[in-house]
Structure 1
Amino acid sequence: MVIRVLPASKGGIYTNTGTSQALVNYLEHEAREDRDPQRSIFFDQKREGIDSQEVQEHIDANVKGLRKNKPHFHSLVISPSREELRHLEGDEEKLKSYTRQVMDNYAQNFKSRHLVQVEGNDVVWYATVHKNRQYSGLDEEVQTGQVQPKQKKEGEQTHIHVIVSARDKTMSRSLHPDSGSRQFNYNAWLIKSKKDFEQSFGYKPEITEEQQRQRLDKQVNRLERVGLLLDREQMHDIGRSQNYSPDFWKKIKEVESEAKKGDIFTPRQAYERLIEKPELKEQKAKGLNKGDISPPGLVKSKGKFDHSITKNKNGENSKTEIDQTVEKSGEKTGKYNDTSQKFRPLRIDITPLIGALRFDSVPNTGGHATSKEDDFRRRVRRRR
């Protein structure tokens, strides 16, 4: 489902700073190609069979309070996909009913702290159904010479055009869908309208492999903006191996969040997080806290690490695998023979690293201070 506000091009039929005559005539002409020329083809929130002259007069008269150089109306288009049109089985009445839902959402999406909520009946709008589309000079097929301009496109092309006034019925409030998220949340309008289509007609969209790849590419671009340069093909392989499940997309969001915090800063860490099994993640969440590095087989109790003990078939206490491993290593090294000895985590000596970062290790070059005294003098000069 594609729902959008068409841009108002200067000199074109969508120019919206003056009369709506050109746009209304165009919408009527395109809609009459496969219809009775005597039949009125516009509809609104409650009525059908509305004449084009009434549409133009009502839109052009509903402009009190608008400046001459400001938009007087807006043009919207509602384009269901071929799969969605097949699901509706070409029922035009269902398309009209859905258009009314979309325009209700359009009205209710205008928000203001000081003004009353706008409802569907408060908006002046008219719509018509078009069943064909034509190629334009911007289409790739025309530019490559495959088809001619104004040639009809093949397949199911049914869509709905809507012309809506930039003022409410009382002409006391301006309604501009391009005014920004403070007054009109464009994404919220689209999401609500798509959900309404699925719920109203029992439609479950089938997402193709290409659509999944496009979605994943957008996510990879977001990760690149936070400093994670990932291999796209490897990401697609990981996505396919997990069937692009909801858990996979959730992991990507978590990787992005942790990358912003600095917890993930290499591609390898990101890949490992994405292929991590849910059971292992739950183990980490329930078991080990930060700073707790006890190995499997050891239980932390009251600040001490105790060996866990299991029982064999005879009911006798038996040693765990970690105990056996410790004893075997003790036989070879002569250490850790006492299994009751506390487990001590391995400590890494970082003294050389600290020494490398000290002031004395800075190379003696013309661009650097050569001693602590020089550095002190330089700071004093800066303060002066």
Structure 2
Amino acid sequence: MVIRVLPARKGGIYTNSGSSQALINYLEHEAKEEVDPKRSIFFDQKREGIASHEVQEHIDTNVKGLRKNKPHFHSVVISPSRAELRHLEGDEEKLKSYTRQVMDNYAQNFKNRHQGKVEGKDVVWYATLHKDRQYSGLDEEVQTGQAQPKQKKQGEQTHIHVVVSARDQTMSRSLHPDSGSRQFNYNAWLTKSKKDFEQSFGYRPVITEAQQKQRLEKQVNRLERGGLLLDREQMHDIGRNQKYSPDFWKRMNEVERGAKKGDVFTPRQAYERLIENPEPKERKDKGAKKPDILPSKVESVKYKSKSVNSDTESITGKRQDKKLEVHHLAEKGEQKIDKHTDASSDQKFRPVRIDITPLIGALRFESVPNTGGHATGKDDDFRRRARRRR
């Protein structure tokens, strides 16, 4: 299942900064080639068989509060895989009901602290179902010469196009899926929509090794077109050894991005990045208690204690020498003793008393600084302070 918001390009069909007329006409034209030309092919949350002019009018008028150069609508495509389409047995009603689930999830993933939650009924959207696809110049088959542009693709190609307004029904809130994770959780939307498909239709995805090889071949072809030539057999061996795990595909994407930036320009660098194993993170047990002192710090603590002991021994030695000197002077009758000498270990420290009466007087109302005089009372003090504030 592939669900994505199509990028808007200037001058293209999906340009969304103005009217939706070009996009609606294109979607209607592609759908009417497959069904009755007189049949209305659009549907929304509740209705079916909606005419194209009604779709265009509603999308183009639901723009109050939007700037001219800002997107007025967005284009969403829902593309089930061939296995998923076979599982549905080509039932269009199931695809329409699933489209409504996807758009409900789309609405619920918008977040705003100051505004309430968005529900499916608050979003303005219209969808149509296409059964065919054509090759474009960006497809790998066209670039390798296997197909021509605008040539129809073979096999099951059913998909759904959705045109969704950038404002809600009341035109009081903007809904932009490309506004960042704080406003719209893109990954949560995709994950929830895929799970809904599996739960609603009882589908269990099974990815075979042939599909993994095909995916790897496409990525290797893109790297070769970029100038990085890789050994296909070795790449398949690396993929099989890692069981085509999500980490393997993540490293493959990193190699592809590095090749575009110029960080990876040799096959050896690519192989090393794919084979390297990340260091396992240490698991933290909740019940385990941390040691008070780390083993590496024990030696430093012991060393510090030894130095402290040696310092205390030297200090006590000096004090004993000073005591002997004081006794010797006392015997000679000399009364002058240095203030800093500790004459006796039992001598108590006598604190010095400081008179803070002037400080208290300065803090009272009798003394008001910056007023040009002294207050004679509380009323006078209040007037002087009010004059100073002016």
> Normalising by the residue count of structure 2, what TM-score does the alignment of the two structures yield?
0.57
Quote the offset at 1:236 in angstroms: 3.9
Cα distance change of structure 1 residues 44 and 268 upon mapping to structure 2, 3 Å threshold: closer
For the residue of structure 2 that corresponds to 1:156, the secondary structure is coil
TM-aligned CA deviation for residue 238 of structure 1: 4.4
Equivalent residue for 2:186? 186
In structure 2, what is the equivalent of residue 105 of structure 1?
Answer: 105
* Deviation for aligned residue 1:211: 6.1
CA contact 2:45–2:121 (8 Å) conserved in 1: yes
- Pair 1:82-2:57 in alignment: no
Shift of 1:149: 1.6
Is the 2:73–2:166 contact (alpha carbons within 8 Å) kept by the matching residues of 1?
A: yes
Q: 1:236 to 1:67 in 2, by over 3 A?
A: same
CA distance in 2, matches of 1:47, 1:157: 25
Change (3 A) 1:147 1:56: same
Give per-residue Cα distances to partners, 1:42-66, cap 9 Å, x unaligned: 0000000000000000000000000
Question: What's the offset of the Cα at 1:136?
Answer: 1.3
Q: Which residue of 2 aligns with 1:17?
A: 17
Unaligned stretches of 5+ residues in structure 2: 220-233, 252-273, 292-390
Residues in 1 aligned to 2:90 and 2:212: alpha-carbon distance in whole angstroms:
28
**More deviation, 136-145/9-18:** 136-145
Quote how far apart the aligned CAs of 1:270 are.
Answer: 4.9
Q: Secondary structure at the match of 1:49?
A: strand
Structure-2 separation of matches of 1:78 and 1:90: 15
Counterpart CA distance in 2 for 1:233 and 1:131 is 34
Which range moved further: 195-204 or 130-139?
130-139
On the 8 A contact 2:238/2:275 being kept in 1, the answer is: no
Please list, as runs of the form range in 1=range in 2, the aligned pairs for 1:48-59 lying within 5 A after superposition: 48-59=48-59
Measured after TM superposition, the shift of residue 135 of structure 1 is 1.0
- 1:143 Cα shift? 2.8
Task: Please state how far the C-alpha of 1:41 moved relative to its aligned partner.
Answer: 0.3
1:239: which partner in 2? 242
| Alpha-carbon distance between aligned partners in 2 of 1:89 and 1:142, rounded to the nearest angstrom | 30
> Could you tell me how far apart the structure 2 residues matched to 1:94 and 1:233 are?
37
What CA distance in whole angstroms lies between the structure 2 residues aligned with 1:156 and 1:115? Answer: 42
1:237 deviation in Å? 5.0
Point out the structure with max Rg over C-alpha.
2
Map of 1:117 onto structure 2? 117
Identity %: 76
**What is the alpha-carbon distance in structure 2 between the residues aligned to residue 124 and residue 269 of structure 1?**
48
Q: Distance in 2 between matches of 1:27 and 1:115?
A: 34
1:34 is aligned with what amino acid? E
The equivalences for 1:54-203 within 5 A come to 54-203=54-203
Separation of aligned partners in 2, 1:269 and 1:40: 56
Stretches of structure 1 that go unaligned for 5 or more consecutive residues are 219-230, 253-266, 275-280, 292-384
User: How many matched pairs?
Assistant: 249
Deviation, 1:37, is: 0.8
Residues 159-308 of structure 1 mapped to structure 2, 5 A cutoff: 159-209=159-209, 236=239, 238-240=241-243, 270=277
TM-score (norm: length of structure 1): 0.58
Where do 1:33-44 residues align within 5 Å? 33-44=33-44
**What SS does the aligned partner of 1:121 have?**
helix
Distance in 2 (CA, whole Å) between partners of 1:290 and 1:143 is 60
Structure 1 residue 101 displacement after superposition: 0.1
Cα RMSD for the two superposed structures: 3.6
Q: C-alpha distance in 1, partners of 2:49/2:277?
A: 58
The alpha-carbon distance between structure 1 residues 172 and 145, as it changes in their structure 2 partners (threshold 3 A), is same
One-letter code of the match for 2:242? G
In 2, the alpha carbon distance for the partners of 1:212 and 1:138 equals 22
Query: C-alpha separation between the residues in 2 aligned to 1:119 and 1:209?
Result: 40
Mapped to 2, the partners of 1:91 and 1:108 lie a distance apart of 26
| Aligned mates of 1:140, 1:233 — CA distance in 2 | 20
Taking the aligned partners of 1:78 and 1:175, their CA distance within structure 2 comes to 19
**C-alpha distance after superposition, 1:137-172 (max 9, x if no partner):** 222322333322211111000000000000000000
1:46 matched residue in structure 2: 46
C-alpha contact 2:112 2:183 (8 A) present in aligned 1: yes
In structure 2, the CA distance between the partners of 1:182 and 1:148, relative to structure 1 (3 Å rule), is same
| Separation in 2, partners of 1:57, 1:165 | 11
Deviation at 1:271, TM superposition (A): 9.2
Note closer, same or farther for the CA distance 1:268–1:85 as it changes in structure 2 (3 Å cut): closer
Match of 2:308 in 1: none
Change (3 A) 1:34 1:211: closer
* Structure 1 equivalent of residue 372 of structure 2: none
Q: From the superposition, tell whether residues 45 and 235 of structure 1 become closer, same or farther in structure 2 (CA, over 3 Å).
A: same
Q: How big is each residue's C-alpha offset from its partner over 1:289-331, in whole Å with a ceiling of 9 and x where there is no partner? A: 999xxxxxxxxxxxxxxxxxxxxxxxxxxxxxxxxxxxxxxxx
Structure 2 distance, partners of 1:271, 1:149, is 43
Cα–Cα, structure 1 residues 273 and 150, in superposed 2: closer, same or farther, change >3 Å? same
